[in-house]
Chain A
Amino acid sequence: MKKLALVILALVLLVGTLSACGSSNASGGQTTNNSPAATTPAGSAPTAGGSASQAAPAPAANVSGSISASGSSALYPLVNIAANQFKAANPNVSMTIAAGGSGTGLNNVLAGTVDIGNSDVYAAEKLDAGDAAKLTDHKVCLIGVAVIVNADVAATVKTLTSDQLKAIFNGTTNNWKQVGGPDEQITIVNRPTSSGTRALFTKWALGGQSSVEGDTSLQTDDSNALLTTVGNTKGTIGYLALSYLNVASANIATVQIDGVDPTYENIYNDKYQVWGYEHMYTNGKPNAQTQAFLDYMMTPTMLTQAGTLGYGDPSKLNADAAKSR
């Protein structure tokens, strides 16, 4: 009798564990296939606020099969929303969208484990020439990078010249009073050296000069952690993709570069230089369903939505701005 009870208990536990695994899978947010619960996961996309949910329906493309994508965490919120809408219009398509970093995306698409590899940077900046040539680039949107400072500096420092910015990041300027701010040490908050956001910032804001590493510089793994660190630490300066600045924060403020605000309006007009393309790479020519999804990413409705999420529309670039990249 006792034995029987034990067996039943073990079974109950086993079933409980299995079903727990199943449900956590479904709500994990990575697979949008056949699970109504798997929409945008709560914590993963702070920028993907309410605005995205009441989106225009995607056009039915009469395609079926599976589409998988991985890579850039900066692009992830947008791709994830697009995937949900695309899936709603094309019920025969199953989609798996993951983040993991630009390097992971390029690795995976090159190895053929995903259909699309998302990247913040050109493949040629990560892969060697031979591998980069195998991939087809789809520039789906723009991403701007803004300089942000802690709120205690923001009141007095509204704008920095390019030279001041370079001096801050190479360590020559180390107190805010040297650029008209309070008498406070400047603390630089970087992203890891391999980060796409850092690459964009280094190339277009600092003219390729690498940031000083030392007593006065910190580093954070991801953009959300950077936002928290700059918000909580006095005298900090950092840089963030505009898609992370959708939600206003009282603790931080953006800073103009040479008197120009970091907005897409200024990027389109070739006034603000710190921006890059977001890339979705395919290994050679994409299959039908992947092509349909890439087309959908670049439809006007999707690009309007991308605008509200903090991404830019490549078609709005004026001739000079488009030529600059």
Chain B
Amino acid sequence: MAYASDKDFTQKRLNQPLLNKKWRTEYAGRTLVTIFGIFIILLALTILGFLGYRGSATFLNYGHSVAEFLFSTNWNPGEAGQSGTVGAAIFIVGSLTVSGFALLIATPFAIAMAIFISDISPKIGSRFLRPVLEIFVGIPSVVYGWIGLTVLVPFIANVFNLPFGFSVLAASIVVAVMIFPTIASVATDAMQAIPAEYRDASYALGSTRWQMVWHIKLRSAMPGILTGIVLGLARAFGEALAVAMVVGQSTRFVDSLLSPTNTLTAVITANMGNTVNGSEYNDALWSMAFLLLLISFGFIILIRVLGRKRNEL
């Protein structure tokens, strides 16, 4: 299109329907994004509602108390319309022990790695260690489980002179290796985000590098590091496959690190295909799934609280 003059151009532009232009430049993108956003929110709410509905059947249809589900160790749910007992305490404690102990193993390594990357040797850190961390994250959990099953389980049996090596220890070590990169990379980011002034001021006061790292950087980065730890804990808690392969899946209460036990996720995976909808067994599994969701909500709230703390700094 050619315009006779600037004036002509302005006139033509003004004649275009305003709404049409506004639609293209503003509303189209906004509507699309809003639709996607609402869809995701609805999806989350639907999942929550569905799990709540299926998970409550154990208590509403079969009349079990929440206390029985949470604190009883008597696990013998019925099938074919029969009713039994649904005490899931063994699996709840099993999940807590495995992920808690995994955290104890992984955290020192992860924080050491974060300190190394951010302060001791940033060059090696960014060129070599960061990519290694990313590789760790990319390995599927079944591979970790398989390595654990073939290497770690026989190793534990040999070292401790046990008949078999399936144990909380084996599961914790496998999970620790899985969550270590998550904690390490979040912690590294937190350490690197501390302003350089803090470091400079610390040096100016005559502290050594280690004193600066230990007293200044680590302290300031603590909320961020804790966020990484909670993220790692959430991942550990939700891991099913790798844990199921090495934990032994024995329905017994944990009393030692070398004993086998079972976890919530492993019980769900092992039995969901063998039970039918509406049976007490199936409903008890849904209750466990709902419990897992509630626990992960707890973790998310914790992360939020820690995040707020970090922003206050």
Contacts and interface: CB of A to CB of B under 8 A. Distances in A.
B110 to A, nearest CB: 30
17 contacts: A102-B273, A103-B272, A103-B273, A107-B276, A125-B79, A126-B80, A126-B275, A127-B279, A128-B278, A192-B249, A214-B252, A215-B259, A218-B248, A218-B260, A219-B248, A219-B270, A221-B269
Q: Number of contact residues on A: which range applies?
A: 35 or more
Contacts of B248: 218-219
A101 B273 contact: yes
Interface in A201-243: 210, 213-221, 225, 228, 232-236
A101 B244 CA distance: 18
A234 B164 CA distance: 8
Interface residues of B, number: 34
A195 B274 contact: yes
B166 interface: yes
Nearest to A100: B273
A192 B164 contact: no
Minimum-distance CB pairs A-B, first 4: A101-B273, A128-B81, A219-B249, A194-B274
B250 A128 contact: no
B275 A218 contact: no
Nearest to B149: A228
A265 B277 CA distance: 37
A196 B274 contact: yes
A92 interface: no
A228 B272 CA distance: 22
Interface in B165-184: 166
A124 B252 contact: no
Nearest to A219: B249
Nearest to B259: A215
B80 A124 contact: yes
B207 interface: no
A212 to B, nearest CB: 10
Contacts of A196: 274
Interface string B56-76: 000000000000000000001
B85 interface: no
A101 B275 CA distance: 8
A192 B252 contact: no
A218 B274 contact: no
A88 interface: no
Interface in A3-44: none
